[in-house]
Chain A
Amino acid sequence: DAGVIQSPRHEVTEMGQEVTLRCKPISGHNSLFWYRQTMMRGLELLIYFNNNVPIDDSGMPEDRFSAKMPNASFSTLKIQPSEPRDSAVYFCASRRTRGGTDTQYFGPGTRLTVL
């Protein structure tokens, strides 16, 4: 299995630009999680989906952030407009909830820099 796939791996953009991060979960996994990791705040859950439905978006910092999961094999996290304080590593993770364990499998992350 290829694991969780994220793109791009690195993104450098200017303040005010729109940023779209992409994630392909592991085939057969029905839960998907978006996290943000910074030195100061550690790893924070932004939003998660079960069976493509958003369950908890309480971690989404502002209306500038939005996430979609149009089907079981694809999700996006969009920031519009981006700000320098959004600079972080964004991780996507997936998990199989039925018959699975608590194991969330993380992707390699997208390192976002907003200038």
Chain B
Amino acid sequence: QKEVEQDPGPLSVPEGAIVSLNCTYSNSAFQYFMWYRQYSRKGPELLMYTYSSGNKEDGRFTAQVDKSSKYISLFIRDSQPSDSATYLCAMRYNTDKLIFGTGTRLQVFP
């Protein structure tokens, strides 16, 4: 079993829809949770960062962490075609080493 599981998609939604992306993990020692966005043929870029449990909001993006269920989510409100990308969850415990999910490919069509 992988430490971090993520549905690969693809997920295809119309413009304006609310998107929900999720990851589950098995290691309860993870404390730091991130979402990276990766456009085609580019490197990943950090989108959201959360420490421990709770919610964090940044514009149209909300990250949620539920440590009791070992489950993290990223919500995108009012999705735009420019949000079309692969979204990777990542997490770490008290080291520099990030463990990534395999990524969910999202397509937002006009």
Contact = CB atoms under 8 A, between A and B. Distances in A.
Given A42-B101, A43-B88, A109 B43 contact: yes
B85 to A, nearest CB: 13
Interface in A16-62: 31, 33, 41-45, 48, 50, 55-56
A57 B83 CA distance: 34
Interface string A78-92: 000000000000010
B60 interface: no
Nearest to B90: A43
B43 A101 contact: no
B88 A45 contact: no
B100 A102 contact: no
22 contacts: A31-B96, A41-B102, A42-B103, A43-B102, A45-B98, A50-B96, A55-B96, A91-B43, A95-B96, A101-B49, A102-B32, A102-B34, A102-B49, A102-B92, A103-B46, A103-B49, A104-B98, A105-B45, A106-B44, A108-B41, A108-B43, A109-B43
Contact of A56 (B43, B97, B103): B97
Interface in B75-110: 88, 92, 95-103
B102 A48 contact: no
Contacts of B100: 42-44
Contact of A104 (B42, B46, B103): B46
A107 B102 contact: no
A45 B99 CA distance: 8
Interface in B27-52: 32, 34, 41-46, 49
Given A101-B49, A102-B34, A102-B49, A48 B43 contact: no
